[in-house]
Amino acid sequence: MNKSLLAGLLIIVLMIAASLFGQYFAPHSLDEHQGVTYVVDGNGDGDLTVPPIAPNKQYPLGTDKEGYDMLAKLLAGSKYTIFVSLVIAISRLLLGGTIGLFLGYISKAKPARTEKLPIWNILNGIPIFIIVWMIMIGITMNPAASPLYMTTILAVILTLVGTPTVASTMKEKTMILREKQFILSAKSIGSGHFTIIRRHIFPHLLESFLILFVQEIVLSLSLFGQLAIFNIFVGGTTQYFDPVQYVSRTNEWSGLIGQARDYLFIYQWVLFIPLVVYIVFILGFHLISIGLEQTYKQKFSKVSHI
């Protein structure tokens, strides 16, 4: 196993473990609230504490402006960041991969590059987050639905807008693969279409599916971040007035970043701590993607006839 793949897997496994079990070891729960306190010691000196509190022994990652522990918020939001991105990537692969595989197999066009591009390649030129923003902006502010329901809506939309890209990629790979000699040999001896797809084409696409799966996770996380800049958070947005502020209902990581972007010059830990965690999480999957590509490249270089 190469170093990139190992480092990426280690990061992701540790983060998933922290998401699942970290709450049992965290010093504070999500319900604990640190208010304004004034303590007088034996010498008569007073100590005024006003949130947000900078990282210290009591709060290793500090608190937000309302006095809630940042570590507890990150652990609570990690389930949405991690598992929603996984679900979206799996759904895109199942839907887009299946469509692309069968279209590539039955297509009459040759796999060689042509000047005419498929119609869905035009959609690839439109930033997906703009499409999602136009759909979600009317329903994401102060929704009556539960955070889980709003998360499901966003996941379905992100799955649907990302499916054409996956389908297009898998179609092109299938069209190239179907021209291989072993596929033509299987057809010549009378193998059925379903048998050829199941026994000959699909196994040779597993590596592509795996790399694409990791890349789709990274793309989903990037979309979370882009939408958060425009106050669209996973699970819905709570909007307050006087002063106007936007708060994530789920504490999802990109939501914590989006709602804290005004703290760039003051209380920086409120912004930078979730930002660092978010970047490390994306970096983990990026390293896995690089590691997989290197591994498969070395593997197939030994059997160049495949």
Q: What is the pLDDT of residues 232-285, one digit of tens each?
A: 999 999 999 988 899 999 999 999 999 998 888 889 999 999 999 999 999 999
> Residue 92 falls within a domain, yes or no?
yes
CA dist 264 and 146 (Å) reads 31
What is the reported pTM? 0.88
217 within some domain: yes
Contact present, 78 and 66 (Cβ < 8 Å): no
Residue 226 belongs to a domain: yes
In angstroms, the CA 178 to CA 106 distance is 10
**Which pLDDT score is estimated for 118?**
58
In a domain, 105, yes or no: yes
Give every CB contact of residue 153 below 8 A, 6+ residues apart in sequence: 136, 139, 145
Residue 166: φ, ψ to 5°: -65, -45
Q: For residue 66, give the nearest of 238, 202, 221, 233 by alpha carbon.
A: 238
Q: Digits of tens for pLDDT over the chain (306 positions)?
A: 688 999 999 999 999 999 999 989 999 999 888 888 888 877 777 888 888 999 999 999 999 989 999 999 999 999 999 999 999 999 999 999 999 999 988 887 766 555 555 555 555 666 788 889 999 988 999 999 999 999 999 999 999 999 998 998 999 899 988 888 888 888 888 888 888 888 888 888 888 899 899 999 999 999 999 999 999 999 999 999 988 899 999 999 999 999 998 888 889 999 999 999 999 999 999 999 999 988 887 776 665 555
Is residue 223 within 8 A of residue 155, CB to CB? The reply is: no
Whichever domain contains 232, its CATH number is 1.10.3720.10
The strand pairing partners of 48, in sequence order, are 38
Distances (CA, A) of 16 to 12, 86, 215, 280: 6, 11, 18, 13
Q: What is the structure's pLDDT at 180?
A: 85
Question: Domain tally for the chain?
Answer: 1
Is 55 within the bounds of a domain? Answer: no
CB 187 within 8 A of CB 262: no
> What span, in angstroms and rounded, lies between the C-alpha atoms of 182 and 82?
40
Q: Is residue 56 situated within a structural domain?
A: no
CA gap 188, 75 in Å, rounded: 57
Please check whether residue 64 lies inside any domain of the structure.
no
Residues forming a β-bridge with 239:
246
Q: What is residue 256's predicted lDDT score, i.e. its pLDDT?
A: 95
Please indicate, yes or no, if residue 220 is contained in any of the structural domains.
yes
| pLDDT at residue 68, rounded to an integer | 94
The range of the structural domain enclosing residue 177 comes to: 3-34+70-304
End-to-end Cα distance, the chain: 22
